[in-house]
Amino acid sequence: MRVVLAEDLFLLRDGLVRLLEAYGFEIAAAVESGPELTRALAESKPDVAVVDVRLPPTHTDEGLQCALAARRARPGLPVLVLSQHVEQLYARELLADGDGGIGYLLKDRVFDAEQFVDAVRRVAAGGTAMDPQVISQLLARGSADDRPLGRLTPREREVLELMAQGRSNAGIAAQLVVTERAVAKHTSNIFGKLGLEVSDDDNRRVLAVLAYLDSGHR
């Protein structure tokens, strides 16, 4: 699996390269700036891009914008974004970008090798890997009773949060120590209360929920 990595801090970039190679990934390119990232994504055509939000020369959201531009040129390009802090604006931009694997992790997660590598693989396969802190903040913003999330029961909110992290029904059932049938019922209730059409595509369902939560429909 070919990876393009963009991270301006040399030690972290080198560490991520070594980590990914140890787990069998091929590093197509490891770059430190926005222009380099744009070229690498166009030339290398990777299976997944792992991108720091903030890159030179602007040190604002250059990494994210380069990744989004690459996805417009190559729809569905899997992108895992790394950020130092939870920045909901960046999460919203990424989630609104359409099809394909998408991930948003805090940099602290890279120190858990298995968790980080699992996220890279999940995104490369077309899935979703959202940092629990990002999900928690999105859910908290929609907790008022006059908003759609206010109609969810506490258990439904737990299920929604785990769904948003990219977990399958089986994974949710194991986490909550309930049956898969119970999870399926909660999922159906969630989509009904949020006015979202149920789909068999787990990734699309997760993205639809997150986009709904972070849109103006709260």
The full length of the chain comes to 218
Predicted confidence at residue 164, as pLDDT, reads 72
Tell me which residues of the chain have a pLDDT lower than 50.
144-146, 215-218
Q: For 91-146, how does the pLDDT look when each residue is reduced to its tens digit (9 = 90+)? A: 777 777 666 788 889 888 888 899 899 999 989 998 888 887 777 666 665 554 44
Domain at 135-213, CATH from 3.40.50.2300, 3.40.120.10, 3.40.50.720, 1.10.8.350: 3.40.50.2300
2-130 and 135-213 agree in CATH topology: yes
Report the top-level CATH class of 2-130.
alpha beta
Q: Which helix (H) or strand (E) holds 80?
A: strand 79-83
Judged by DSSP in three states, 180 sits in helix
**pLDDT value at position 144?**
47
State residue 36's pLDDT score: 97
Give the pLDDT of residue 183: 92
Domain ranges within the chain, ordered by starting residue: 2-130, 135-213
